[in-house]
Amino acid sequence: MAAEKVFPDENRIRLIDGSDISYDYLVIATGPDLAFDEIEGLGPDGFTQSICHVDHAEEAHKAFEEFCKNPAPIIVGAVQGASCYGPAYEFLFQLDTELRKRKIRDKVPMTFVTAEPYIGHLGLDGVGDTKGLLESEMREHHIKWMTSTKVKKVEKGKMTVEQIGDDGSSKGEVELPFGYSMMLPAFRGIPAVSGIEGLSNPRGFTIVDKHQQNPKFKNIFAVGVCVAIPPTGPTPVPCGVPKTGFMIESMVTATAKNIGQILRGQEPDHEGT
């Protein structure tokens, strides 16, 4: 049963059916709310595809099959505020491979549009030589790219974007035509835990310390994508930090061990990495 609202001062959760449940300890592991609505025309209810849910991916596949009957430009990427860039790159190269298998790649100009300040930033200011490796692969596969780019709005067959300079100034808006597009949205915390002073930040992500414990409500812990993590540094266009599977596994391990310590009357000392 999904939660409608958390009341941390009362140690209870209001469920969507109107009933309440109480808790001694709460572990928030909700994942994100997908913020398609922050950009006009973005997402499955608009004019771009998504791979964030299984049902989204299934619809993206159907749309791709239709697209292949009438090839046109493709746009793939991640919008301002996104924090999950890896899947966008993966999907980009998967599309490239499939188009080549179908022998229609030459009919499909491909552009990667991203909020990242450079290709391979990934929200982490790069990992090893990701910049050089990904740029090289994209050149080899004849894929163009636009970095430090905001998506302003999406219409049927047309995406309006704005490139931002290193000093924060606008380089102007450009309209990009497309026949198929998949853009990863920004994430935010789910409504049930958003807007609670001391529990969530302005984006609705849950605030925790190095022990995965909320500083204000000591019996609340959080793990995964719903956790508030500051960006690695300033960027011309907002870029979030991804939460990797390894990172989340360490968060979960630390949380379980820390709750065990508290129950035994000890201070928590396990840290997620």
In tens, the pLDDT along 4-16 reads: 999 999 999 999 9
> What percent of the chain clears pLDDT 90, i.e. is strictly above it?
94
The pLDDT, as a whole number, for residue 2 is: 83
Of 64, 85, 65, whose CA–CA distance to 74 is shortest?
A: 64
What's the rounded mean pLDDT across residues 250-260? 97
Retrieve residue 123's tokens: 């929200």
Maximal CA-CA distance, the chain? 66
Single-letter code of the amino acid located at 90: E
Residue 173: pLDDT over 70? yes
Domain range list for the chain: 3-32+190-263, 34-187
In tens, the pLDDT along 186-204 reads: 999 999 999 999 999 999 9
Confidence label for 246 from pLDDT (cuts 50, 70 and 90):
confident
Note whether 84 and 219 are within 8 A (CB). no
Can you tell me the distance from the alpha carbon of 127 to that of 242, in angstroms, rounded to the nearest whole number? Answer: 12
Does this chain's domain 3-32+190-263 share its CATH topology with 34-187?
yes
Phi, psi of 165, deg, nearest 5: -75, 170
The pLDDT, as a whole number, for residue 96 is: 98
What's the rounded mean pLDDT across residues 69-93? 97
Residue 273: pLDDT over 80? no
The domain 34-187 having CATH identifier 1.10.230.10: the answer here is no
Best-predicted range by mean pLDDT (72-76, 126-130, 243-247): 72-76
Q: Quote the DSSP letter at residue 34.
A: E
What's the rounded mean pLDDT across residues 130-158? 97
> What percent of the chain clears pLDDT 70, i.e. is strictly above it?
100
In tens, the pLDDT along 219-245 reads: 999 999 999 998 888 999 999 999 888
Mean residue pLDDT across the chain: 96
User: What number of other Cβ atoms are within 10 A of residue 39's Cβ?
Assistant: 23
The pLDDT, as a whole number, for residue 232 is: 85
3-32+190-263: CATH architecture: 3-Layer(bba) Sandwich (3.50)
Single-letter code of the amino acid located at 113: V
Note whether 35 and 151 are within 8 A (CB). no
Note whether 187 and 258 are within 8 A (CB). no
Tokens 């004849």 sit on residue: 142
The pLDDT, as a whole number, for residue 182 is: 98
Confidence label for 218 from pLDDT (cuts 50, 70 and 90):
very high
Confidence label for 1 from pLDDT (cuts 50, 70 and 90):
low
Residue 28: pLDDT over 90? yes
SS3 assignment, position 60: helix
Single-letter code of the amino acid located at 9: D
Can you tell me the distance from the alpha carbon of 238 to that of 115, in angstroms, rounded to the nearest whole number? Answer: 7
Residue 170: pLDDT over 70? yes
Direct distance between the N- and C-terminal alpha carbons of the chain, in angstroms, rounded to an integer: 30
Can you tell me the distance from the alpha carbon of 102 to that of 66, in angstroms, rounded to the nearest whole number? Answer: 13
Can you tell me the distance from the alpha carbon of 119 to that of 235, in angstroms, rounded to the nearest whole number? Answer: 13
Can you tell me the distance from the alpha carbon of 254 to that of 67, in angstroms, rounded to the nearest whole number? Answer: 46
